[in-house]
Amino acid sequence: MLQGFASDDSKHRGNLMRRILSILCLVLAVIVTTPLAFAAPGAVRCGKLLDVRSGRMLTDQVIVFDANGTITAVGPAASTSAPSGAVSIDLSSATCLPGLIDVHTHLTGDPNSSGYQGLGISVPREAITGAKNARLTLRAGFTTVRNVGASGYTDVALREGIDAGDIEGPRMLVSGPPLGITGGHCDDNLLPFEYHHKAEGVADGPWAARAKVRETVKYGADLIKICASGGVLSKGDQPGTPQYTLEEMQAIAEEAHKLGRKVAAHAHGTQSIKDAIRAGIDSIEHSSLIDDEGIALAKQHGTYLVFDIYNDDFILQEGAKVGMLPESIEKEKKIGRLQRENFRHAFQSGAKMAFGTDSGVYPHGDNAKQFAKMVEWGMKPIDGIQAATIRAADLIGWSAKVGALEPDHFADVIAVSGDPLSDVHVLESVKFVMKNGAIVRNDFSAK
Ligand SMILES: [Zn+2]
Protein backbone atom coordinates (compact mmCIF):
# COMPACT_ATOMS: atom_id res chain seq x y z
CA MET A 1 0.00 0.00 0.00
CA LEU A 2 2.90 2.33 0.64
CA GLN A 3 3.82 1.94 -3.01
CA GLY A 4 0.38 3.25 -3.96
CA PHE A 5 0.81 6.45 -1.92
CA ALA A 6 4.26 7.00 -3.47
CA SER A 7 2.94 6.60 -7.00
CA ASP A 8 1.90 9.54 -9.14
CA ASP A 9 -0.87 7.45 -10.64
CA SER A 10 -4.18 9.39 -10.56
CA LYS A 11 -6.11 6.25 -9.59
CA HIS A 12 -4.05 5.98 -6.43
CA ARG A 13 -4.54 9.66 -5.69
CA GLY A 14 -8.29 9.05 -5.94
CA ASN A 15 -7.96 6.24 -3.38
CA LEU A 16 -6.03 8.55 -1.06
CA MET A 17 -8.74 11.23 -1.31
CA ARG A 18 -11.45 8.67 -0.53
CA ARG A 19 -9.53 7.53 2.54
CA ILE A 20 -9.09 11.09 3.78
CA LEU A 21 -12.79 11.75 3.22
CA SER A 22 -13.85 8.63 5.07
CA ILE A 23 -11.60 9.57 8.03
CA LEU A 24 -13.11 13.08 8.02
CA CYS A 25 -16.60 11.58 8.05
CA LEU A 26 -15.68 9.42 11.04
CA VAL A 27 -14.33 12.44 12.93
CA LEU A 28 -17.51 14.40 12.18
CA ALA A 29 -19.70 11.50 13.32
CA VAL A 30 -17.85 11.41 16.66
CA ILE A 31 -18.31 15.17 17.14
CA VAL A 32 -22.02 15.02 16.31
CA THR A 33 -22.76 12.10 18.67
CA THR A 34 -20.85 13.60 21.61
CA PRO A 35 -23.29 15.06 24.23
CA LEU A 36 -24.36 18.63 23.67
CA ALA A 37 -22.63 19.81 26.85
CA PHE A 38 -19.24 19.21 25.37
CA ALA A 39 -20.02 20.75 22.01
CA ALA A 40 -21.77 24.05 22.62
CA PRO A 41 -22.15 26.70 25.28
CA GLY A 42 -25.64 27.40 26.57
CA ALA A 43 -27.85 29.78 28.52
CA VAL A 44 -30.70 28.86 30.85
CA ARG A 45 -33.29 31.58 31.37
CA CYS A 46 -34.95 31.22 34.78
CA GLY A 47 -38.19 33.02 35.71
CA LYS A 48 -36.95 32.76 39.29
CA LEU A 49 -33.61 31.67 40.67
CA LEU A 50 -32.87 30.85 44.30
CA ASP A 51 -29.56 32.26 45.48
CA VAL A 52 -28.92 29.53 48.04
CA ARG A 53 -26.16 31.47 49.77
CA SER A 54 -28.24 34.56 50.62
CA GLY A 55 -31.61 32.81 50.59
CA ARG A 56 -32.93 35.47 48.20
CA MET A 57 -35.28 34.61 45.37
CA LEU A 58 -34.12 36.49 42.26
CA THR A 59 -36.32 37.08 39.23
CA ASP A 60 -35.63 36.79 35.49
CA GLN A 61 -32.08 35.45 35.62
CA VAL A 62 -29.78 33.81 33.10
CA ILE A 63 -27.21 31.09 33.78
CA VAL A 64 -24.54 30.99 31.06
CA PHE A 65 -22.26 27.99 30.69
CA ASP A 66 -19.42 27.08 28.35
CA ALA A 67 -18.84 24.05 26.14
CA ASN A 68 -17.26 22.18 29.06
CA GLY A 69 -20.46 22.51 31.12
CA THR A 70 -18.95 25.09 33.48
CA ILE A 71 -20.93 28.17 34.53
CA THR A 72 -19.35 31.37 33.23
CA ALA A 73 -21.95 33.93 34.33
CA VAL A 74 -25.18 34.27 36.32
CA GLY A 75 -27.17 37.49 36.33
CA PRO A 76 -30.30 39.44 35.30
CA ALA A 77 -31.56 38.49 31.83
CA ALA A 78 -31.50 42.15 30.76
CA SER A 79 -27.79 42.56 31.36
CA THR A 80 -26.27 39.09 30.99
CA SER A 81 -25.34 38.09 27.48
CA ALA A 82 -24.58 34.63 26.19
CA PRO A 83 -21.90 34.01 23.56
CA SER A 84 -23.06 33.62 19.96
CA GLY A 85 -24.05 30.05 19.20
CA ALA A 86 -25.12 29.37 22.77
CA VAL A 87 -28.07 27.01 23.03
CA SER A 88 -30.88 28.77 24.88
CA ILE A 89 -33.11 26.93 27.33
CA ASP A 90 -36.32 28.63 28.38
CA LEU A 91 -37.36 28.08 31.99
CA SER A 92 -39.07 31.46 32.32
CA SER A 93 -42.07 29.83 34.03
CA ALA A 94 -39.91 27.92 36.51
CA THR A 95 -37.78 28.34 39.63
CA CYS A 96 -34.13 27.32 39.23
CA LEU A 97 -31.89 25.99 41.98
CA PRO A 98 -28.48 24.37 42.02
CA GLY A 99 -28.48 20.58 41.67
CA LEU A 100 -29.13 18.99 45.07
CA ILE A 101 -26.65 16.91 47.07
CA ASP A 102 -27.41 13.89 49.25
CA VAL A 103 -24.40 13.00 51.43
CA HIS A 104 -25.75 9.65 52.62
CA THR A 105 -26.89 7.26 49.89
CA HIS A 106 -26.61 3.54 49.16
CA LEU A 107 -27.30 3.45 45.42
CA THR A 108 -26.39 -0.23 45.06
CA GLY A 109 -29.05 -1.31 47.57
CA ASP A 110 -32.85 -1.34 47.57
CA PRO A 111 -35.20 -1.69 50.56
CA ASN A 112 -35.68 -5.36 49.73
CA SER A 113 -31.94 -6.02 50.14
CA SER A 114 -32.37 -5.81 53.93
CA GLY A 115 -32.53 -8.86 56.16
CA TYR A 116 -32.17 -12.41 54.83
CA GLN A 117 -33.36 -11.52 51.32
CA GLY A 118 -30.12 -9.62 50.82
CA LEU A 119 -28.07 -12.80 51.09
CA GLY A 120 -29.39 -13.95 47.72
CA ILE A 121 -28.22 -10.83 45.90
CA SER A 122 -24.86 -11.14 44.13
CA VAL A 123 -22.30 -8.36 43.88
CA PRO A 124 -22.77 -8.06 40.07
CA ARG A 125 -26.54 -7.79 40.62
CA GLU A 126 -25.93 -4.99 43.13
CA ALA A 127 -23.97 -3.11 40.50
CA ILE A 128 -26.94 -3.31 38.13
CA THR A 129 -29.26 -2.15 40.90
CA GLY A 130 -26.85 0.77 41.32
CA ALA A 131 -27.18 1.73 37.64
CA LYS A 132 -30.97 1.83 38.01
CA ASN A 133 -30.84 3.89 41.21
CA ALA A 134 -28.20 6.31 39.91
CA ARG A 135 -30.62 7.27 37.15
CA LEU A 136 -33.59 7.62 39.52
CA THR A 137 -31.55 9.78 41.90
CA LEU A 138 -30.26 12.10 39.19
CA ARG A 139 -33.70 12.50 37.65
CA ALA A 140 -35.06 13.43 41.12
CA GLY A 141 -32.73 16.46 41.08
CA PHE A 142 -29.77 15.09 43.02
CA THR A 143 -26.80 15.82 40.78
CA THR A 144 -24.19 14.88 43.41
CA VAL A 145 -24.22 12.13 46.02
CA ARG A 146 -21.86 10.74 48.61
CA ASN A 147 -22.35 6.98 48.69
CA VAL A 148 -21.45 5.56 52.10
CA GLY A 149 -21.18 1.80 51.95
CA ALA A 150 -21.38 -0.77 49.15
CA SER A 151 -20.20 -4.35 48.55
CA GLY A 152 -17.47 -5.45 46.18
CA TYR A 153 -16.54 -1.87 45.20
CA THR A 154 -19.71 -1.72 43.11
CA ASP A 155 -19.84 1.98 44.04
CA VAL A 156 -16.41 2.58 42.50
CA ALA A 157 -17.59 0.86 39.30
CA LEU A 158 -20.77 2.93 39.33
CA ARG A 159 -18.83 6.20 39.74
CA GLU A 160 -16.51 5.24 36.90
CA GLY A 161 -19.38 4.19 34.63
CA ILE A 162 -21.15 7.51 35.22
CA ASP A 163 -17.98 9.57 34.72
CA ALA A 164 -17.28 7.72 31.48
CA GLY A 165 -20.80 8.52 30.23
CA ASP A 166 -21.76 4.82 30.01
CA ILE A 167 -24.74 5.26 32.33
CA GLU A 168 -26.82 8.15 33.64
CA GLY A 169 -26.22 9.19 37.24
CA PRO A 170 -25.10 11.87 39.67
CA ARG A 171 -21.52 12.80 40.43
CA MET A 172 -20.43 10.37 43.10
CA LEU A 173 -18.01 10.28 45.98
CA VAL A 174 -17.82 6.69 47.20
CA SER A 175 -16.57 4.88 50.27
CA GLY A 176 -16.32 1.25 49.18
CA PRO A 177 -17.04 -1.21 52.01
CA PRO A 178 -17.73 0.41 55.38
CA LEU A 179 -15.26 -0.34 58.17
CA GLY A 180 -16.48 -1.90 61.42
CA ILE A 181 -15.83 -4.31 64.26
CA THR A 182 -16.46 -8.05 64.17
CA GLY A 183 -20.16 -8.60 64.78
CA GLY A 184 -20.92 -4.90 64.51
CA HIS A 185 -23.36 -2.92 62.35
CA CYS A 186 -20.93 -2.93 59.40
CA ASP A 187 -20.32 -6.70 59.64
CA ASP A 188 -22.82 -9.20 58.24
CA ASN A 189 -24.25 -11.18 61.15
CA LEU A 190 -27.04 -13.13 59.48
CA LEU A 191 -25.31 -16.49 59.05
CA PRO A 192 -24.19 -18.91 61.80
CA PHE A 193 -20.55 -19.69 62.60
CA GLU A 194 -20.10 -22.61 60.19
CA TYR A 195 -20.42 -20.29 57.17
CA HIS A 196 -17.38 -18.27 58.37
CA HIS A 197 -18.83 -15.21 56.72
CA LYS A 198 -17.77 -11.67 57.48
CA ALA A 199 -18.21 -8.38 55.68
CA GLU A 200 -15.35 -6.92 53.62
CA GLY A 201 -14.78 -3.92 55.86
CA VAL A 202 -14.33 -5.71 59.18
CA ALA A 203 -11.14 -4.60 60.95
CA ASP A 204 -10.48 -4.83 64.69
CA GLY A 205 -7.77 -2.83 66.43
CA PRO A 206 -6.05 0.41 65.41
CA TRP A 207 -3.50 -1.15 63.05
CA ALA A 208 -5.93 -3.49 61.33
CA ALA A 209 -8.24 -0.52 60.89
CA ARG A 210 -5.39 1.57 59.42
CA ALA A 211 -4.58 -1.26 57.00
CA LYS A 212 -8.25 -1.43 55.99
CA VAL A 213 -8.26 2.32 55.29
CA ARG A 214 -5.22 1.84 53.03
CA GLU A 215 -6.86 -1.11 51.25
CA THR A 216 -10.10 0.78 50.72
CA VAL A 217 -8.25 3.77 49.26
CA LYS A 218 -6.18 1.42 47.07
CA TYR A 219 -9.35 0.13 45.41
CA GLY A 220 -10.81 3.55 44.69
CA ALA A 221 -12.57 5.02 47.74
CA ASP A 222 -12.97 8.81 47.86
CA LEU A 223 -13.81 8.74 51.56
CA ILE A 224 -13.92 6.27 54.45
CA LYS A 225 -17.16 5.14 56.09
CA ILE A 226 -17.06 3.52 59.50
CA CYS A 227 -19.53 2.15 62.01
CA ALA A 228 -18.88 3.74 65.38
CA SER A 229 -22.00 2.38 67.10
CA GLY A 230 -24.63 -0.30 66.62
CA GLY A 231 -27.43 0.14 64.13
CA VAL A 232 -31.06 -0.42 63.29
CA LEU A 233 -30.96 -2.73 60.26
CA SER A 234 -28.20 -5.04 61.57
CA LYS A 235 -28.73 -8.25 63.54
CA GLY A 236 -27.77 -8.67 67.17
CA ASP A 237 -26.63 -5.17 68.12
CA GLN A 238 -28.14 -2.06 69.63
CA PRO A 239 -27.98 1.45 68.08
CA GLY A 240 -26.90 3.03 71.36
CA THR A 241 -24.00 0.66 72.03
CA PRO A 242 -20.44 1.77 71.18
CA GLN A 243 -18.53 -0.38 68.66
CA TYR A 244 -15.27 1.21 67.48
CA THR A 245 -13.20 2.57 70.39
CA LEU A 246 -11.82 6.10 70.53
CA GLU A 247 -8.34 4.66 69.88
CA GLU A 248 -9.50 2.80 66.75
CA MET A 249 -11.29 5.86 65.40
CA GLN A 250 -8.26 8.09 66.04
CA ALA A 251 -6.15 5.67 63.97
CA ILE A 252 -8.73 5.62 61.16
CA ALA A 253 -9.12 9.41 61.07
CA GLU A 254 -5.38 10.00 61.11
CA GLU A 255 -4.70 7.44 58.36
CA ALA A 256 -7.56 8.64 56.17
CA HIS A 257 -6.67 12.32 56.53
CA LYS A 258 -3.03 11.54 55.76
CA LEU A 259 -4.25 9.95 52.50
CA GLY A 260 -6.46 12.96 51.73
CA ARG A 261 -9.76 11.25 52.58
CA LYS A 262 -12.55 12.36 54.91
CA VAL A 263 -14.30 9.98 57.29
CA ALA A 264 -18.04 9.56 57.81
CA ALA A 265 -19.05 7.71 60.97
CA HIS A 266 -22.34 5.90 61.41
CA ALA A 267 -23.16 6.73 65.03
CA HIS A 268 -26.54 6.55 66.77
CA GLY A 269 -25.17 6.18 70.29
CA THR A 270 -24.46 9.08 72.64
CA GLN A 271 -20.97 7.90 73.61
CA SER A 272 -19.96 6.86 70.08
CA ILE A 273 -20.97 10.26 68.69
CA LYS A 274 -18.66 11.98 71.18
CA ASP A 275 -15.80 9.51 70.66
CA ALA A 276 -16.05 9.95 66.89
CA ILE A 277 -16.00 13.74 67.13
CA ARG A 278 -13.03 13.67 69.53
CA ALA A 279 -11.22 11.27 67.17
CA GLY A 280 -11.48 13.85 64.36
CA ILE A 281 -14.18 12.18 62.24
CA ASP A 282 -15.62 14.63 59.66
CA SER A 283 -19.33 13.80 59.82
CA ILE A 284 -21.64 11.96 62.17
CA GLU A 285 -24.27 9.95 60.29
CA HIS A 286 -27.70 9.45 61.93
CA SER A 287 -26.66 11.30 65.13
CA SER A 288 -29.81 9.91 66.76
CA LEU A 289 -28.97 9.96 70.48
CA ILE A 290 -26.73 13.03 70.52
CA ASP A 291 -26.80 14.96 73.81
CA ASP A 292 -25.87 18.56 74.70
CA GLU A 293 -22.24 17.67 75.23
CA GLY A 294 -22.14 15.97 71.82
CA ILE A 295 -23.70 19.02 70.16
CA ALA A 296 -21.17 21.30 71.88
CA LEU A 297 -18.30 19.05 70.75
CA ALA A 298 -19.59 18.99 67.16
CA LYS A 299 -19.69 22.81 67.14
CA GLN A 300 -16.24 23.05 68.69
CA HIS A 301 -14.67 20.61 66.17
CA GLY A 302 -16.67 21.82 63.16
CA THR A 303 -18.07 18.32 62.69
CA TYR A 304 -21.09 17.98 60.40
CA LEU A 305 -24.19 16.21 61.67
CA VAL A 306 -26.24 14.24 59.16
CA PHE A 307 -29.73 13.32 60.39
CA ASP A 308 -31.64 10.95 58.10
CA ILE A 309 -35.05 11.87 59.48
CA TYR A 310 -37.30 10.81 56.60
CA ASN A 311 -36.71 7.05 56.45
CA ASP A 312 -38.25 6.40 59.90
CA ASP A 313 -41.69 6.63 58.28
CA PHE A 314 -40.76 4.11 55.59
CA ILE A 315 -39.21 1.60 58.03
CA LEU A 316 -42.26 1.64 60.30
CA GLN A 317 -44.82 1.49 57.49
CA GLU A 318 -43.11 -0.74 54.92
CA GLY A 319 -40.14 -2.36 56.69
CA ALA A 320 -41.80 -5.66 57.59
CA LYS A 321 -43.20 -6.03 54.06
CA VAL A 322 -39.78 -5.62 52.43
CA GLY A 323 -38.09 -8.14 54.73
CA MET A 324 -36.50 -5.99 57.44
CA LEU A 325 -35.91 -8.03 60.62
CA PRO A 326 -38.56 -7.75 63.39
CA GLU A 327 -35.80 -6.58 65.75
CA SER A 328 -34.99 -3.74 63.29
CA ILE A 329 -38.58 -2.49 63.36
CA GLU A 330 -38.50 -2.59 67.18
CA LYS A 331 -35.23 -0.63 67.26
CA GLU A 332 -36.65 2.00 64.88
CA LYS A 333 -39.73 2.41 67.08
CA LYS A 334 -37.46 3.30 70.02
CA ILE A 335 -35.06 5.58 68.18
CA GLY A 336 -37.01 7.30 65.37
CA ARG A 337 -38.80 9.96 67.37
CA LEU A 338 -35.77 10.66 69.57
CA GLN A 339 -33.70 11.24 66.44
CA ARG A 340 -36.17 13.82 65.17
CA GLU A 341 -36.33 15.61 68.53
CA ASN A 342 -32.54 15.68 68.67
CA PHE A 343 -32.40 16.96 65.09
CA ARG A 344 -34.50 19.94 66.11
CA HIS A 345 -32.44 20.54 69.24
CA ALA A 346 -29.09 20.27 67.42
CA PHE A 347 -30.28 22.63 64.68
CA GLN A 348 -31.58 25.19 67.17
CA SER A 349 -28.26 24.90 69.02
CA GLY A 350 -26.38 25.95 65.87
CA ALA A 351 -24.65 22.68 64.87
CA LYS A 352 -23.53 22.32 61.24
CA MET A 353 -25.85 20.08 59.26
CA ALA A 354 -25.71 18.45 55.84
CA PHE A 355 -28.56 16.74 54.01
CA GLY A 356 -28.29 12.94 54.01
CA THR A 357 -31.15 10.48 53.74
CA ASP A 358 -29.86 6.85 53.80
CA SER A 359 -31.52 6.19 50.45
CA GLY A 360 -31.77 2.47 49.82
CA VAL A 361 -33.42 2.07 53.23
CA TYR A 362 -36.39 3.71 51.43
CA PRO A 363 -36.86 3.75 47.60
CA HIS A 364 -34.33 5.80 45.62
CA GLY A 365 -35.64 8.96 44.02
CA ASP A 366 -37.73 9.88 47.08
CA ASN A 367 -34.73 11.68 48.64
CA ALA A 368 -36.44 15.10 48.56
CA LYS A 369 -39.22 13.90 50.85
CA GLN A 370 -36.80 14.59 53.71
CA PHE A 371 -37.07 18.37 53.16
CA ALA A 372 -40.64 18.41 54.48
CA LYS A 373 -39.53 16.42 57.55
CA MET A 374 -36.75 18.91 58.21
CA VAL A 375 -39.27 21.76 58.05
CA GLU A 376 -41.72 19.85 60.25
CA TRP A 377 -38.94 19.46 62.83
CA GLY A 378 -37.75 23.04 63.10
CA MET A 379 -35.99 24.22 59.96
CA LYS A 380 -37.13 26.88 57.53
CA PRO A 381 -37.18 25.68 53.91
CA ILE A 382 -34.00 27.65 53.13
CA ASP A 383 -32.15 25.86 55.96
CA GLY A 384 -33.03 22.48 54.46
CA ILE A 385 -32.07 23.66 50.96
CA GLN A 386 -28.75 25.03 52.22
CA ALA A 387 -28.07 21.69 53.96
CA ALA A 388 -28.50 20.00 50.55
CA THR A 389 -26.43 22.56 48.62
CA ILE A 390 -23.74 24.81 50.12
CA ARG A 391 -23.41 22.88 53.40
CA ALA A 392 -23.28 19.46 51.76
CA ALA A 393 -20.73 20.81 49.26
CA ASP A 394 -18.61 22.06 52.16
CA LEU A 395 -18.75 18.68 53.92
CA ILE A 396 -17.66 16.74 50.83
CA GLY A 397 -14.93 19.26 50.01
CA TRP A 398 -16.42 20.35 46.68
CA SER A 399 -17.55 23.91 47.53
CA ALA A 400 -15.72 25.32 44.52
CA LYS A 401 -17.58 23.03 42.10
CA VAL A 402 -21.08 22.14 43.30
CA GLY A 403 -23.89 23.38 45.53
CA ALA A 404 -24.35 26.87 44.07
CA LEU A 405 -25.13 28.54 40.75
CA GLU A 406 -21.97 30.62 40.46
CA PRO A 407 -19.17 31.06 37.92
CA ASP A 408 -16.64 28.18 37.81
CA HIS A 409 -19.19 25.73 39.23
CA PHE A 410 -20.52 22.84 37.18
CA ALA A 411 -23.70 23.76 35.31
CA ASP A 412 -25.78 21.49 37.55
CA VAL A 413 -29.20 23.11 37.49
CA ILE A 414 -32.63 21.91 38.55
CA ALA A 415 -35.99 23.61 38.21
CA VAL A 416 -39.40 23.26 39.81
CA SER A 417 -42.84 24.83 39.49
CA GLY A 418 -43.71 27.09 42.39
CA ASP A 419 -41.71 28.50 45.26
CA PRO A 420 -39.70 26.06 47.42
CA LEU A 421 -39.27 28.78 50.05
CA SER A 422 -43.00 28.78 50.75
CA ASP A 423 -43.69 25.10 49.97
CA VAL A 424 -40.70 22.79 50.24
CA HIS A 425 -42.79 19.90 48.86
CA VAL A 426 -42.27 21.28 45.33
CA LEU A 427 -38.74 19.81 45.52
CA GLU A 428 -40.36 16.36 45.45
CA SER A 429 -41.39 17.02 41.82
CA VAL A 430 -38.29 18.32 40.09
CA LYS A 431 -39.17 18.92 36.43
CA PHE A 432 -35.86 19.97 34.93
CA VAL A 433 -32.43 18.49 35.60
CA MET A 434 -29.16 19.53 33.97
CA LYS A 435 -25.84 18.00 34.90
CA ASN A 436 -22.63 19.55 33.63
CA GLY A 437 -24.52 21.52 30.98
CA ALA A 438 -26.32 18.44 29.61
CA ILE A 439 -30.11 18.22 29.98
CA VAL A 440 -31.17 15.05 31.78
CA ARG A 441 -34.90 15.84 31.85
CA ASN A 442 -37.05 18.77 30.87
CA ASP A 443 -40.73 18.37 31.60
CA PHE A 444 -41.28 22.08 30.92
CA SER A 445 -40.49 21.70 27.22
CA ALA A 446 -43.25 19.09 26.85
CA LYS A 447 -45.97 21.71 27.42
ZN1 LIG B 1 -26.45 4.25 55.65
For residue 84, the 8-state DSSP code is T
**Closest to 181 measured CA to CA, from 154, 207, 151, 204:** 204
Residue 123: how many other CB atoms lie within 10 Å = 14
Query: What DSSP line would sit under 19-61, residue for residue?
Result: HHHHHHHHHHHHHHHS-GGGT--EEEEEEEEEETTTTEEEEEE
Collapsing DSSP states into helix, strand and coil, what is residue 87? Answer: strand
Task: Examine the pLDDT at 17 and tell me if it is beyond 80.
Answer: no
- Helix 292-301 crosses helix 326-348 at what angle (to 10 degrees)? 60
Alpha helix (H) residue ranges in 219-291: 246-258, 270-279
Q: Please give the average per-residue pLDDT across 162-191, as a whole number.
A: 96
Look at residue 1 and tell me whether its pLDDT is greater than 60: no
**Does 389 have pLDDT greater than 90?**
yes
Share of the chain above pLDDT 90, in %: 80
At residue 345 the predicted structure's pLDDT band, cuts being 50, 70 and 90, is very high
Q: Ligand 1 centroid to 89 CA: how many Å?
A: 37
Ligand 1 centroid from CA 186, angstroms: 10
> Using CA atoms, how far apart are residues 266 and 276, in angstroms rounded to an integer?
9
- Amino acid 404: pLDDT: 98
Q: For Cα atoms 231, 158, 129, give the angle at the middle one, nearest 5 degrees.
A: 65
In the reported structure, the alpha carbon of residue 150 is separated from the centroid of ligand 1 by a whole-number distance in angstroms of 10
Report the separation in Å between the CA atom of 367 and the middle of ligand 1, taken as the mean of its atom positions: 13
Confidence band (pLDDT; 50, 70, 90) for 375?
very high
CA of 38 to the centre of ligand 1 (A): 35
For residue 267, the CA-to-ligand 1 centroid distance in Å is: 10
Provide the sign of the torsion angle of the four alpha carbons 18, 20, 24, 26, taken in this order.
positive
Q: Residue 97's closest CA among 146, 66, 53?
A: 53
For the chain, count helices (H), then strands (E): 13, 14
Nearest CA among 288, 436, 434 for reference residue 356:
288
Angle (CA) 138 141 146, round 5°: 60
- Does the pLDDT at position 294 exceed 60? yes
Distance 175 CA to ligand 1 centre (A): 11
Q: Report CA(187)–ligand 1 centroid distance (Å).
A: 13
Compute the distance from residue 307 Cα to the ligand 1 centre, in Å: 11
What is the total residue count of the chain? 447
What is the C-alpha separation between 226 and 223, in angstroms, rounded? 10
Provide the greatest CA pair distance for the chain. Answer: 90
Model pLDDT for residues 18-69, shown as the tens digit of each residue: 665 555 544 444 443 334 445 689 999 999 999 999 999 999 999 999 999 9
| Pairing mode, strands 432-435 and 438-442 | antiparallel
Alpha-helical regions (H) of 140-245: 154-163, 206-218
Mean pLDDT value across residues 328-337: 86
Residues 281/306, Cβ–Cβ less than 8 Å: no
Stretch 317-335: mean pLDDT: 86
Q: Give me ligand 1 centre to Cα 405, in Å.
A: 29
Render pLDDT for 401-410 as a digit per residue (tens, 0 to 9): 999 999 999 9
Q: Of the candidates 103, 85, 72, which has an alpha carbon nearest to the alpha carbon of residue 40? A: 85
Q: Give the sheet arrangement for strand 142-147, strand by strand.
A: 100-105, 142-147, 171-174
CB 179 within 8 A of CB 227: yes
* Coil vs helix vs strand at 143: strand
Mean pLDDT of 297-315: 96
Report how far ligand 1's centroid is from the alpha carbon of 315 (Å): 13
CB 294 within 8 A of CB 344: no
Q: Which residues surround ligand 1, an ion (CB under 5 A)?
A: 358
Sheet holding 304-306, edge to edge: 223-227, 262-267, 283-286, 304-306
Tens of pLDDT, residue by residue over 205-242, are 999 999 999 999 999 999 999 999 998 888 888 888 99
The Cα–Cα gap between 32 and 13 comes to 29
C-alpha of residue 149 to centroid of ligand 1, in Å: 7
Q: Is 425 exposed, middle or buried (0-12, 13-18, 19+ CB in 10 A)?
A: middle
